[in-house]
Structure 1
Amino acid sequence: MTTGHGREWHQSRKLGWILFILFLTVWFYMLGARVLVPTDEGRYAEMAREMVFSHDWVTTRLNGIKYFEKPPLQTWMNAITFELFGLGEWQARLWTGLCGLLGIGLVAHTGRRVFNRRIGLYAALVLGSSFFWAGLGHINTLDMGLAGMMTLTLCGLLLSQRSDAGTAENRNWMLICWAGMALAVLSKGLIGIVLPGAVLVLYTLVSSDWAIWKRLHLGKGLCLFFLITTPWFVLVSLKNPEFLHFFFIHEHLQRFTSKIHHRAGPWYYFFPILLLGIIPWLGVLVQSLWHGRRDQDQGYSRNGFQPRKMLLVWAAFIFIFFSISGSKLPSYILPIFPAVALLIACYLDKASYRAVIGCAALLAIPCAVSLPFIARIPEMAKDGFSQPLIEAHVPWIYAAAIIGLLGGLFAMRFARRYKEVSIAVLALTAFLAGQLLILGHEKQGAYSAGVAYVPMLQQEIKPDTALFMVGLYEQSLPFYLRRTMTLVEHADEMEFGLGQEPQLWIPKVDAFAVLWRADQAAGKKDIAFIEPDIYLRLQKKGLPMRVLGQDPRRVIVANDMLPALLPTPEKQETH
């Protein structure tokens, strides 16, 4: 570590290892620190659990129903993790966490080899501390897996095309690039190759770097791509003839060109997500993107390849692509963050200490301003039930704000003399503050998942107990209960699969009520998770239901009206 202005610490092995070990400790601890929150976390954990149980590694299922919305790479990885380490939260998030770390490691190595050592360090600090990347690295969702594989694609391309890459290096890194695209396709579909392909074409047009096409190893690369992707697509199509139309037409063409998935948003939908997600580096975001237009003044394009322009085209095109899509979710733009991190690192490498002060101020000032208002956050609760859950989050928000404030003030105070130290402190404090915000959400997440009912339900449920979900689908409880359930009048995302196997559900509540009464008469125990409004309707109809648990999201009932729990005439007179 340095002690004076202008001296560098990025070559300090001791300090580097301390930061690295601290970062990894927090990163891996957070993988298992929270319950699996619906919808995505419960869904993808349950799909992997069912894969382990069924031993069917071709046809992916959710709640026992064919589920072809996405390819199987993450389900495979989660299932392998469950096979090796058992079922649990950190196991369900391990693949996601490793993909997040892979992206950080790749931008560090790429920044060092393509630009210089300091840029590699800065890129890792920027990406690892960006709120969006660090946050989604701890959520079991497909987009981090996709982003990790697309980062492999991007970094493989950058490393293969750098001016000092030998023939073997060019070939090997390009094959890694092609493998990254193949794994991205197996992660989330055709965007794994469509987006990088479009980026390459646009880059060629804006840079006039036509020679790059001679260095892509198209023949070997395409062979490797199809070798990785083809087997599963062939096998799943042979076993499920309906797969091809649903996957390629419904899940790709119609998702992009229409609002069929009810995930529409305005054209500016992703702007606030990018601005908040890149914190604490918002103060240099625009400058970094602007300076990405040119490489010549940096001496990085001796062989005609312009890496910063490639990064800018990657980030801009993917951002615009999803902005004009008819289907939008916040995590869709996650693959642009590694490119943005490298551009920010390039800018910070040449920028004065004032750039660090700007970033620190945009972290510290909002934290300071928010402190008087944090105590009022519980007033935003929708109902009295959720208010104490939000109140439990308040101390964590205070802690995050204070850490962000102190880290920002430190960086502002010492940026002039210790620019690199200030960058590292800013990254570390922002990372810790972000993780505290996520950790503090645990009680709200546990309520959404319904895990408080699990111990009671494990006592109630017997091997032959039938489980129903009436008017809703609990995304996390099937994983925690280790059971699939019969859907009633709520197909939701499983509509296609139920269309192929309609015997797996009950389309109408009235038919469910008939079955419920028949099972009760036969002495067969049923348990149902019912949407509250439907519960009131069934209660008015006199359906026998013993309430096991109830909250604003669900009512859990059994059909065994135990005599000991029913009011006797004597008890009624007493009351």
Structure 2
Amino acid sequence: MDDVDATQAQIARTMLETGDWVTPRLNGIVYLEKAPLKYWLIALSFAVFGVHDWAARLPIGLGILALGWLTLRMGTWAFGARAGFYAGLVLATSIGLFLFTRILIVDVLLALSVALALWAYLRALDPQEAHPRRWSALMAVSLAAGFLFKGFIGLVFPLAAMGLYALATGQWRQRNFWQRWRPVTTTCLVLSLTLPWFVAATLRNPPYVDFTLTSEPGQYRGFFWFFVFNEHVLRFLGRRYPRDYNTVPRLWFWLSHLVWFFPWSLFLPGVARLRLTRRPATRAEQMTLLAVVWIGFVMVFFSFSTTQEYYSLPIYPAVAVLLGAALTQEGRFQAVGRWLASGVAALAALAAGALLVVNWNTPTPGDIAQALAKSPDVYAVYTLSLGHMGDLTVRSFAYLRVPLALATVAFLVGAVGVHLARGRRAWLAIAGMLTLLLVAARLAMVAFDPYLGSYPLAKALVTAQRTHPGRVVVDNQYYAFSSVFFYANVKGALLLNGRTTNLEYGSHAPGAPDVFLDDDTFAKVWRGPERTYLLVEDVHLPRIEKLVGVETLHQIATSGGKFLLCNQPKVQEEPHLSTQRNLRKVLP
């Protein structure tokens, strides 16, 4: 897809092609905001399997499988085999995990590193554990991986949870705690795995001598200031530069987990029945206490910071383990939870069925973009991960008949199955419902693909460039057509008014390529003798028409409310935009 998804894949591809594994780059511009381990894994996947979209997704996919297995093992170690199985089942069918791993964001790999570090911490402290040094070493490797995935947050989350656990239990006073945890050895191992990249990135992108916590447009202070202060300190304080992100309301950030874990979240009252004590004597008590401080610290941390919907992914394994343990218990809360799950699923089936009936005979010309309500306030809406959900209209569900029908069946399976089933059969009915529901969601994403991505335009550009080579201009920021850069392997494209968001800082670095155009320069380029291709969204097309004249805009392809235009006609040219609009007025 466009935006972050293809951007991350293209950065990894550039690393592989240039051989520079230290400094990420995008369209030739240094991109310093993220740690590199995810890029390294994707680049290695490209090296082995070739540059494909599925190869880019492979590290994330394997990370999800590893996280599911780890959650199962943690639950089994602490609460028994049945609880471990349920914990893995809860995580594997989590709506949140599905939604936030459709794009190449690193947070699920961060969740894996955090969970592995914390479980290794418990195992290293377990007096019955025969090999505490191995678990201590694994903890150190996981901490280092967390830093290389997400920066300092990969260290802060697990270390804070460990510290709170040690304070709550009083173990920090015991001598064997330090002998088993091995803080000196752990620190040395973490530093040996993380410092080489950090030092190399600092030296290759020299820091500015003034380390104040402010920045102004046009200033470039190197890697150290940007990565340490801007991306961590200022982002936490909501003062990061540039301000190209949004934050969800705090209440929604907390309550949304009822949705991300639905309908398993209806059984959360059972977690209150688990024994929580400051003097844990059993593995179950140890895991319960650690999971509580783990979840609590992450959620409180983001309650004082900027938040996106997926920032809480690191707590998913802990939530799943606690729910898995709760599902093995018997009690009134389970009966109430099953009744609620069945009732909500029945209501959801009615709603999905109603949308299906309403749109049964609704025509579906073109793609789904024709029926969506795109918001003009791009920075306020689409800077949230699920911002495009607000574009849905009743008519747009006509393009989603198949996934809507499957979702209706899924909710019916859940409503009837949970109502009739008892005990563990009810959990299998819920898992069946969620499996069908997530398959329906995947099919819906296929229908959304022309709107969220630009693969058809990339294909058309490759075909056009094969016979009529020319330079490429992208209107607005790089992210608007990032999938074109990936699929067409576009290098050095010109960005019209694109010196913004995450490319702005790197654009001021010494030796940065001059790839940015303003309106006046673009008008000269477009009217010049060299063949030029332009990628533009429909909402910005009127501005382009006013700038260069509609008679100069020759359409090559259109998809999902986006256009590929050229300043010169093809041999067998399609009508230019003004002619097409006149045809639309008279043709059915």
Is TM-score (shorter-chain normalized) higher than 0.5?
yes
Instruction: Label 1:556 to 1:386 Cα distance change in 2 as closer, same or farther (>3 A).
Output: farther
Residues 315-341 of structure 1 show CA distances to partners (whole Å, capped at 9, x for unaligned) of: 12101211221x211110011010011
Instruction: Label 1:541 to 1:124 Cα distance change in 2 as closer, same or farther (>3 A).
Output: closer
**In the alignment, structure 1 residue 222 sits paired with structure 2 residue 222:** no
Instruction: Label 1:286 to 1:542 Cα distance change in 2 as closer, same or farther (>3 A).
Output: same
Instruction: Tell me, in whole angstroms, the C-alpha distance in 1 between the residues paired with 2:339 and 2:239.
Output: 40
**In the alignment, structure 1 residue 555 sits paired with structure 2 residue 563:** yes
Instruction: Tell me, in whole angstroms, the C-alpha distance in 2 between the residues paired with 1:89 and 1:252.
Output: 30
**In the alignment, structure 1 residue 345 sits paired with structure 2 residue 324:** yes
Which one of the candidate residues 273, 278, 285 is aligned to 2:268?
285
Aligned to 2:534: 528
Alignment of 1:128-277 (within 5 A): 128-166=92-130, 168=131, 170-210=132-172, 211=174, 212-241=177-206, 242-260=222-240, 261=243, 262-277=245-260
Instruction: Tell me, in whole angstroms, the C-alpha distance in 1 between the residues paired with 2:401 and 2:122.
Output: 44
Q: Quick check: 1:97–1:138 contact (8 Å CA) kept in 2?
A: no
Instruction: Tell me, in whole angstroms, the C-alpha distance in 2 between the residues paired with 1:399 and 1:361.
Output: 17
Instruction: Label 1:394 to 1:499 Cα distance change in 2 as closer, same or farther (>3 A).
Output: farther
Q: In terms of mean alpha carbon deviation, does 178-187 or 366-375 score higher?
A: 366-375
Instruction: Tell me, in whole angstroms, the C-alpha distance in 2 between the residues paired with 1:538 and 1:228.
Output: 50
**In the alignment, structure 1 residue 116 sits paired with structure 2 residue 95:** no
Instruction: Label 1:382 to 1:469 Cα distance change in 2 as closer, same or farther (>3 A).
Output: same
Which one of the candidate residues 369, 373, 380 is aligned to 1:382?
373
Q: Quick check: 1:113–1:159 contact (8 Å CA) kept in 2?
A: no
Aligned to 1:468: 473
SS at match of 2:399: helix
SS at match of 2:251: coil
Aligned to 1:60: 24
Instruction: Label 1:92 to 1:355 Cα distance change in 2 as closer, same or farther (>3 A).
Output: farther
Q: Quick check: 1:149–1:183 contact (8 Å CA) kept in 2?
A: yes
Task: Give me the TM-score of the superposition, normalised by structure 2.
Answer: 0.81
User: Deviation of residue 195 (structure 1)?
Assistant: 1.3
Q: Quick check: 1:68–1:246 contact (8 Å CA) kept in 2?
A: yes
User: Deviation of residue 159 (structure 1)?
Assistant: 2.9
Aligned to 1:486: 494
Residues 45-78 of structure 1 show CA distances to partners (whole Å, capped at 9, x for unaligned) of: 1111222222221111122211111011111111
Which one of the candidate residues 414, 418, 424 is aligned to 1:411?
418
Instruction: Label 1:460 to 1:208 Cα distance change in 2 as closer, same or farther (>3 A).
Output: same
Instruction: Tell me, in whole angstroms, the C-alpha distance in 1 between the residues paired with 2:260 and 2:142.
Output: 24
Tell me the percent identity. 26
Q: Quick check: 1:74–1:187 contact (8 Å CA) kept in 2?
A: yes
**In the alignment, structure 1 residue 447 sits paired with structure 2 residue 451:** yes
User: Deviation of residue 163 (structure 1)?
Assistant: 4.6
What letter is aligned with 1:435? Answer: V
Q: Quick check: 2:274–2:326 contact (8 Å CA) kept in 1?
A: yes
Instruction: Tell me, in whole angstroms, the C-alpha distance in 2 between the residues paired with 1:292 and 1:54.
Output: 55
User: Deviation of residue 93 (structure 1)?
Assistant: 1.1
Instruction: Label 1:300 to 1:455 Cα distance change in 2 as closer, same or farther (>3 A).
Output: same
Gaps of 5+ in 1: 1-36
Alignment of 1:86-105 (within 5 A): 86-105=50-69
Which one of the candidate residues 504, 509, 515 is aligned to 1:495?
504
Instruction: Tell me, in whole angstroms, the C-alpha distance in 2 between the residues paired with 1:88 and 1:340.
Output: 34
Name the count of aligned residue pairs. 521
SS at match of 2:328: helix
Residues 245-274 of structure 1 show CA distances to partners (whole Å, capped at 9, x for unaligned) of: 100011000100015433233221312321
Instruction: Tell me, in whole angstroms, the C-alpha distance in 2 between the residues paired with 1:173 and 1:363.
Output: 43
Which one of the candidate residues 510, 515, 523 is aligned to 1:513?
523
Residues 72-108 of structure 1 show CA distances to partners (whole Å, capped at 9, x for unaligned) of: 1111111111111122222111111111111111111
What letter is aligned with 1:466? Answer: R
Q: Quick check: 2:350–2:408 contact (8 Å CA) kept in 1?
A: no
What letter is aligned with 1:505? Answer: V
Instruction: Label 1:214 to 1:70 Cα distance change in 2 as closer, same or farther (>3 A).
Output: same
**In the alignment, structure 1 residue 48 sits paired with structure 2 residue 12:** yes
Aligned to 1:125: 89
What letter is aligned with 1:153? Answer: A
Residues 299-319 of structure 1 show CA distances to partners (whole Å, capped at 9, x for unaligned) of: 5169xx722111011012101
Which one of the candidate residues 352, 370, 375 is aligned to 1:371?
352
Q: Quick check: 2:371–2:396 contact (8 Å CA) kept in 1?
A: no
Instruction: Tell me, in whole angstroms, the C-alpha distance in 1 between the residues paired with 2:461 and 2:155.
Output: 45
Q: In terms of mean alpha carbon deviation, does 129-138 or 277-286 score higher?
A: 129-138
User: Deviation of residue 174 (structure 1)?
Assistant: 2.1
User: Deviation of residue 286 (structure 1)?
Assistant: 3.9
SS at match of 1:529: strand
Q: Quick check: 1:45–1:479 contact (8 Å CA) kept in 2?
A: yes
User: Deviation of residue 244 (structure 1)?
Assistant: 0.6
What letter is aligned with 1:381? Answer: L
Instruction: Tell me, in whole angstroms, the C-alpha distance in 2 between the residues paired with 1:307 and 1:65.
Output: 45
Instruction: Label 1:56 to 1:359 Cα distance change in 2 as closer, same or farther (>3 A).
Output: farther
Aligned to 1:300: 282
Aligned to 1:395: 402
User: Deviation of residue 233 (structure 1)?
Assistant: 0.9
Q: In terms of mean alpha carbon deviation, does 81-90 or 463-472 score higher?
A: 463-472
SS at match of 1:225: helix
Residues 481-522 of structure 1 show CA distances to partners (whole Å, capped at 9, x for unaligned) of: 11132212122221111121554322412112212323x2xx
Instruction: Label 1:266 to 1:197 Cα distance change in 2 as closer, same or farther (>3 A).
Output: same
Gaps of 5+ in 2: 207-221, 363-369, 375-390, 580-585
Residues 271-306 of structure 1 show CA distances to partners (whole Å, capped at 9, x for unaligned) of: 23211111120111243156363487x95169xx72
Which one of the candidate residues 313, 323, 340 is aligned to 1:334?
313
SS at match of 1:330: coil
Instruction: Label 1:414 to 1:265 Cα distance change in 2 as closer, same or farther (>3 A).
Output: closer
Q: Quick check: 1:446–1:452 contact (8 Å CA) kept in 2?
A: yes
What letter is aligned with 2:252? Answer: Y
Instruction: Tell me, in whole angstroms, the C-alpha distance in 2 between the residues paired with 1:117 and 1:541.
Output: 67
Instruction: Tell me, in whole angstroms, the C-alpha distance in 2 between the residues paired with 1:433 and 1:39.
Output: 26
Instruction: Label 1:490 to 1:414 Cα distance change in 2 as closer, same or farther (>3 A).
Output: same
What letter is aligned with 1:546? Answer: H
SS at match of 1:475: helix
Aligned to 2:301: 321
User: Deviation of residue 551 (structure 1)?
Assistant: 5.8
Q: What's the Cα RMSD here?
A: 3.0
SS at match of 1:68: coil
Aligned to 2:212: none
Task: Give me the TM-score of the superposition, normalised by structure 1.
Answer: 0.83
